[in-house]
Structure 1
Amino acid sequence: MNLAHIVTQNARRFGQRPGFIWGDRQWKWAEIDAQVSALAAALATRGIGKGDRILVHSKNCEAMFFSMFAAFRLGAVWVPTNFRLLPDEVAYLATASGAKAFLCHGDFPEHAAAVATAEPALGFTWRIGAGAFGEAEVGEMIARHAGASVANAAVERDDPCWFFFTSGTTGRSKAAVLTHGQMGFVVTNHLCDLLPGTTEADASLVVAPLSHGAGVHQLVISARGAPTILLPSERFDVDEAYRLIARHRITNIFTVPTILKMLVEHPAVDTHDHSSLRYVIYAGAPMYREDQKAALAKLGKVIVQYFGLGEVTGNITVLPPALHDPEDGPNARIGTCGFERTGMQVQIQ
């Protein structure tokens, strides 16, 4: 299955339900499907097709979310970057990926210039939002191609869809090549082990860049037809996060231990209704036992830990809510990162 079929299916089944919410704006699944097709059509007019790499450097926004599915729809490869990277770092990712197109947020003109200089094969740069660079603005290109119908490209299991760059802790960042088939397994595995029972009635709050693990999580949420909700700004405002949790009846969040600690220790945890939360998933680092206990005391038995790598996008182990014991007894499983995920086998060497 081409991963963009997720949007196709949602438009058919849940066309009038919200799929993406940011501030006061909502995009229903039928509208998301139309905008994804319009962006895909716009990219196709510039020669982007199956196997071409689309570099995306952007803060969290609707255009970044749509660009993922537009790339998939064309059979192209989505190459998102962390928007906190420096211009020369993004320029390296452009050359390493062989990017043919660059979608760059308007706040990063230096990055656009660096990429244009570094990658001779780059065909064009389109700006996301306001700014003074690029051949065109992504929203304008979507509007220009409104009504275009683009079918999901036929793909095989091993056709690449996403270059998932590592953090570069051992030198320069390296791209894990994720494929349509692999990500189909990832989606299924996450729903099985991290978010069992998730449906279109759920809702997810984004508290991390969509360029990395949060993007994988939102793909999983989209596969169930549930909406993704963004924070109103790039700054992590804990009080605002809890307001959104209460307002939209958020059921799940993907985060890291440091942000989970902030959510637990902020006074807003006691002033807002967060009873809708079913899964608060943390990954990326171990969590201190005392912080686990504090989270369980404030949020209840809703926290889920998983361990993974970029190359396998998190699918290694899981510690579900039932194994997060608030008491330091024999059932606490202190120090564990869980058991093997469905379909996975771990060998300790």
Structure 2
Amino acid sequence: MSTPHIVAQARQHTLGDLPRRSARRFGSKTAIIDGDTRLTFAELDAVVDRTAAALDAAGLTKGDRVALLSHNCWQFAVLQYATARRGVVLVPINFMLNPDEIAYVLDHSGATAFVAEDGLTVTAHKAIAGADLLRFSIPLGTGEAQPGWRDFTELTSFDGPLPADVLVADDDPTRLMYTSGTESRPKGAILTSRALLWQYASCAIDGEMTFDDVEVHSLPLYHCAQLDCFLNVDVYTGATSVLLPAPAPAAILRAIEEHGATKFFAPPTVWIALLRCPEFDSTDLSTLRKGYYGASPMPVEILQELSRRLPDVRFWNFYGQTEMAPLATILRPDEQLPHAGSAGRPAINVETIVVDDLDQPVPAGTVGEIVHRSPHATLGYYRDEEKTADAFRNGWFHSGDLGVFDENGYLSVVDRKKDMIKTGGENVASREVEEALYQHAAIAEVAVFGIDHPYWVEAVTAVVVPKEPGLDPDEIIAFGRTVLAGFKTPKYVVVVDALPKNPSGKILKRELRSRYGHLGRP
């Protein structure tokens, strides 16, 4: 081997290296708890090695893409480290997508293998539609795997020889995260070990995360919030992770009590659901010390209630997006009430400013687009040079969010520049919903936007102009369920004679939000 190669080997620090390095520090300590399954850090590293070797034996090589469709489970964690260890790119897929939406991700990413939990193989099989992919089913007992899907246990129990190590560079693609963005089709944000590990350092330092933490993970791991702000940081620091398949309030409370959890993350909607859960007051939550939220600001009245009912818990607000791996700014515990609603200040490895339409910085108090410089940032959008160049114009990553800094340097996000709707912790592109609804033969025009909602934070709302009078709003909602994932389907539909427009013909969505905002109020 050449000297540069062996030097690069000695200096390598990638996502795939994390389980091994934590195993050398905390080998006998519990790393992951998933139901009856418990893995120490040494056991986690060993099963990652076996799975990585099995991927190699199956013919997967550096740069290949493996799609993953699954609820939270220990196999999800193992696969992401195993693929990273071989230089294979993981493509996590939202399990709420329909077969056509999944098929787009498979085709665009060029996936050569597909791993799905048993109960999701029916949907996955429809998405594949005869494509020649390696197929593995994770046996979670959520349904019967479809014919032609090999048991994922073949990978985790592989007993063949370990292949030679693969040299993975800091900026080699490690993961493709498909983000709703603002287009009718999702974009594949390329994340590298450089982006991820710098982001983990920011989370650990600014979020005060330590090796003695025990964390309950209930939000989907296909989102980089739960995966990269929390689970992977826990593995990096040597903390213990408890995996739940879904954010069911009673199950979360039981897990915190049973495992003595010290930290927990959820969007405001889930924190609100915990407060309203009948078991809240009877559950021992005395070990909980750190609470995190994101996706939207926490309402002041909820912050006040949390401080009363969980007086020993300190809270952080994490703001960011997939392309930032995902952390950008943080509102810290002592800033919660004095700066309620703020996204805080830039994380330790992030530089954030607000710019005008000419990309010039604007003074405090002036609304503009939020832009970042950071090693957290995506390498770009897969197979889309034009969108990559636009997002990184003038040497800053453009978030697409509008924001304003106050005189003390605290950022507030005031709007989505291109009509992104954030509902229940999910991103929904209004244009995608509009294009889906336009498939209904009776719709002449449609405008989709988000309105404030006490539970969903924002509710997807559609205002429709029919081709003929008499169109029933419930018919549109029912149709939406046939062409869209459930979280993208409008919660409210209003039928009108005409949409408000400016002189150039642009639909005035701000006016629609104002006019119909009352629909989401109790």
TM (norm. structure 1) is 0.91
Q: Is the 8 A contact 1:238 1:262 kept in 2?
A: yes
Q: Is the 8 A contact 2:56 2:163 kept in 1?
A: no
1:41 matched to which residue of 2? 53
Greater mean deviation of Cα atoms: 215-224 or 131-140: 131-140
2:231 matched to which residue of 1? 218
- The alignment status of 1:179 with 2:192, answered yes or no, reads yes
Structure 2 distance, partners of 1:281, 1:148, is 42
Change (3 A) 1:74 1:32: same
Structure 2 distance, partners of 1:264, 1:344, is 33
Structure 2 distance, partners of 1:42, 1:197, is 33
2:295 matched to which residue of 1? 284
2:73 matched to which residue of 1? 61
- Provide, for residues 253-312 of structure 1, a one-character-per-residue CA deviation record: whole Å limited to 9, x for no partner: 121110011112323232122122222111111221111211222223411101101100
The match for 1:342 among 348, 351, 355 is 348
The match for 1:131 among 134, 142, 145 is 145
Alignment of 1:228-307 (within 5 A): 228-231=241-244, 233-234=245-246, 236-300=247-311, 301-307=313-319
What's the secondary structure of 2:96's corresponding residue? coil
Q: Is the 8 A contact 2:32 2:240 kept in 1?
A: yes
- The alignment status of 1:140 with 2:140, answered yes or no, reads no
1:328 matched to which residue of 2? none
Q: Is the 8 A contact 1:36 1:67 kept in 2?
A: yes
Change (3 A) 1:150 1:2: farther
2:445 matched to which residue of 1? none
What's the secondary structure of 1:107's corresponding residue? helix
What's the secondary structure of 1:176's corresponding residue? strand
Q: Is the 8 A contact 2:112 2:134 kept in 1?
A: yes
1:170 matched to which residue of 2? 183
- Provide, for residues 20-64 of structure 1, a one-character-per-residue CA deviation record: whole Å limited to 9, x for no partner: 101222111111111111111111112112111110011111111
What's the secondary structure of 1:269's corresponding residue? coil
What's the secondary structure of 1:162's corresponding residue? strand
Structure 2 distance, partners of 1:230, 1:270, is 23
Runs of 4 or more, structure 1, over 4 Å off, are none
The match for 1:7 among 19, 27, 30 is 19
2:331 matched to which residue of 1? 319
TM (norm. structure 2) is 0.62
Structure 1 distance, partners of 2:180, 2:21, is 33
1:103 matched to which residue of 2? 115
Structure 2 distance, partners of 1:28, 1:50, is 28
Structure 1 distance, partners of 2:340, 2:137, is 48
Q: Is the 8 A contact 2:122 2:145 kept in 1?
A: no
> Structure 2 unaligned runs (5+)?
1-12, 356-522
Structure 2 distance, partners of 1:173, 1:251, is 35
Report the alpha carbon displacement of residue 317 of structure 1 after superposing the two structures with TM: 0.9
- Provide, for residues 51-109 of structure 1, a one-character-per-residue CA deviation record: whole Å limited to 9, x for no partner: 11110011111111111001111011111011111111111110111101111111123
User: What is the aligned length?
Assistant: 336
Structure 2 distance, partners of 1:197, 1:208, is 18
Identity, % of aligned positions: 30
- Provide, for residues 200-243 of structure 1, a one-character-per-residue CA deviation record: whole Å limited to 9, x for no partner: x2111011111112111201111011121122x43x33222112
What's the secondary structure of 2:280's corresponding residue? helix
